[in-house]
Structure formats: structure tokens, C-alpha cells
Chain A
Amino acid sequence: MDARAILLIGSLLLTACAPTIGNKQDVRTTSFFVGETTKQEVADVLGLPADISRSDALGLEYWAYRDKPELSGLIVPVPVGGTAVQTTSFSTGQDGSYEFKDAAAIYVFDQSNTLIDVRYPSN
């Protein structure tokens, strides 16, 4: 194997990956038009929300997005003597389910499925 191949493989092994299951775009930097953007357009740009709730009295629907996927577990190599290594798994107790404290952005739609407000709870 020549040096370039070894370098390429080495680079790949040293390149950490990022999760791909989060929102399609960053909710903090994505802009929509209040009074124009529809629910379907928000879903197409960001993906589905973490939670959907409704107020029948107000005729409003709230789409809550979290910032990024939750860390639910770790697999860590642990030296067990000599050159031997075994992996150990840890659970964080999180499973990706939504709680209000997780909301990074909340999009509010009226009965015509049009965006009427955006709120950023953590701000």
C-alpha cells in the first residue's frame, strides 16, 4: 500500500462524523415569512418538528423544534491490559423524546396553516 493510500485511510479514520438525524437546517438561522409561509413549507425546509400541539380555543397549532439530536449513549474503548481493548456502553437515559425545555424554536400556525409567529424560548 503506498503512502498516499495510508494517508487517505488515516485521514478518514481521524475524521469524526456529525449526526445526520437532526433538523435539515439550523432553526436559529433559517428565515420564514410570517403571514406567508405554510406548514408544509416549514416541514420541507426543517423536517418534522419534535412536538405538535394545538389550542382549539385559539385555533392555533404549535410546532416545536429542538436544537439538535439528544445524546442517548456512548461506546467507549477501555484498555484491559497489554494491547487489549474492550468497548463499554453507557446510556445517558435520554431517548430523544421531547420536553418543553428542549424547544429551540416554536412556530405558530393559524387555521389556514399559515405561519403567524416564531418564538425562541431560550432567548
Chain B
Amino acid sequence: MFSKIKVTFVILFCALMAGCAGQIKPMSSDEVSNLSQKRAAVAYFYPDKKINYNELVYKVLWNEYRSNSVSFAGLWDIESELSERFQTRFRQMGINQAVLARDLLNDEQYANLQEDTYTHIRAVLKAIKDGENFPTLTLGASYQKALADQGVDRLVLLGQYPFNIEVFGLTDSEIMRSSADVWVIDTNDGSILFDGAAYINFGHEYEESPREIESNNLHAFKEGIRSAVDKEFAPERLPKQMGFSNPQ
């Protein structure tokens, strides 16, 4: 029964991912060439700062799903760390002049960019919950103009969806699944040149408790996220999705 549920879950997950992947259109070779040569600002945001655990609990006559959400707000500056990590990886991928948006925008402009990204991610989650159409990303003009004025023609923006950990007690293992929206935006006119996704998934085996992943200042969790981001830059993944067929 457990295996059936796990298989069903995996099939549903794959179907969902395939559905998302099917809608992603790579950038044209001209646009890839532009992105390789022009200055591009990178920013990563995660509004939740939470880890959501889900567990199937065997109760003999029935099974229960239990959920628990925990916060790491203020304990790990994930936005700064992953902005830098994505910037480095994007440079290696071929966006040769990728810089951090944080270094180019003043505090107010950066806070507005952050808030607009948070608002969009939350609106998407609400739309999923309510079964409505996904909203379109809406960004403010001030920080785009500020970037364009500094010769930064492209904004590579990442918005993270919640980190969900599925716990499989029978095997003392857990799987973290999440994704981040990845947009490439033309800062001169606000048009969205690319709308894709980075999948942040990893597995972890624990000894006694699935929450060991939080121990030592989130050591295993952070390492899992870092490793998952790096894996997403394998040639056949995000680079291919974006149209970088020959990543450098």
C-alpha cells in the first residue's frame, strides 16, 4: 500500500513537472547571444523562509498525512547566499557579465524588487490553492530603470516556492522538493524574455529523526540546497531550458 502511494505520488509529481516543463520556451539564439554579452543583474528571493514537512503516518486501520512548517527566518540569509551562487553559476553558464542586483540598487529599490517578487510568488500559491489562473509577473519601473541607467539590460530574477520535505518513515529517508521561477527581463521595456524554472530537489537519509536535517545550524539542509542548485546547471537542465545549448 505504501509503495502504491509513493508510486502515485511520484507519478503525480512527474506529471506536474512535465506539465511545467512543457510550457517553457527557450530563448532565441539572438537573445542568448545578447544575454552572453550584455550586463545582467541576478537576484534570488524566497518569501517563506520556511521548511514544510509532510509525512504519511501508518495507523493500522487508516493512514494519516501530518504536516509541520518550521521557520529559519533570520537564521540563514538564503537570499544573499543563493543570489551569489546563482550569479556565479550563470557566469559559468555563459552570462558573462552577470552581477548582483543587490550591488546596483539602493535599499529602497532592492526592497521594492524583493516585495514585487514576494507578491507574485504568494499570488501564484493562492491561485494554485483556489484553482485559478496563474497571475502574470508585474514588476515596478523604478528599479528596472535604475538598472538600465547603469547599463544593465537584463534582470535574471528567481522566485522560490516553498521547500517541501516528504518523509518516508519506513525507509528513514526524506526528499526535499521545490522549484524556483526563473525570469529574464529586459530592463529597458519590462518585457519577459524567458519564463522557466529551476528545480531544487535532493534526498537525505536520517538516523533517528527527519528533523536532523536542521541540526548544526541547518548544515544538511543548506548543503542539500547548494548541491541541488549546482546540479541544476548540468548542461541538459537549466542551460538547455534557457537556450544555452553549448554552456561554457
Contact = CB atoms under 8 A, between A and B. Distances in A.
Interface in A63-99: 66, 69-77, 87, 94-98
A73 B70 contact: no
A48 B59 CA distance: 26
* Residue among A13, A14, A74, A95 with the highest chain B CB neighbour number at 10 A: A95
B215 interface: yes
Given A16-B59, A21-B167, A69 B214 contact: no
Give chain B's interface residue range (CB within 8 Å of chain A).
35 or more
Contact of B70 (A16, A48, A54, A70): A48
Given A20-B167, A74-B64, A52 B210 contact: no
B60 A72 contact: no
A15 B75 CA distance: 38
Contacts of A52: 71-75
A116 B80 CA distance: 30
A13 B71 contact: no
A17 B61 CA distance: 12
Give chain A's interface residue range (CB within 8 Å of chain B).
35 or more
Contacts of B244: none
Contact of A19 (B51, B57, B60, B72): B57
Contacts of A75: 5, 56, 62-65
B36 to A, nearest CB: 41
* Residue among B61, B67, B68, B73 with the highest chain A CB neighbour number at 10 A: B68
Contact of A43 (B5, B55, B60, B214): B214
A74 to B, nearest CB: 6
Nearest to B68: A69
A70 B51 CA distance: 14
Contact of A13 (B60, B72, B169): B60
A70 B68 contact: yes
Contacts of B217: 40, 43
Given A17-B169, A71-B64, A96-B54, A50 B59 contact: no
Interface of B: 1, 5, 51-75, 167, 169, 209-211, 214-215, 217
Given A20-B167, A47-B214, 15 more contacts: A14-B60, A19-B64, A19-B68, A21-B67, A43-B75, A43-B217, A48-B72, A49-B70, A52-B75, A69-B55, A71-B64, A72-B54, A72-B66, A87-B1, A97-B52
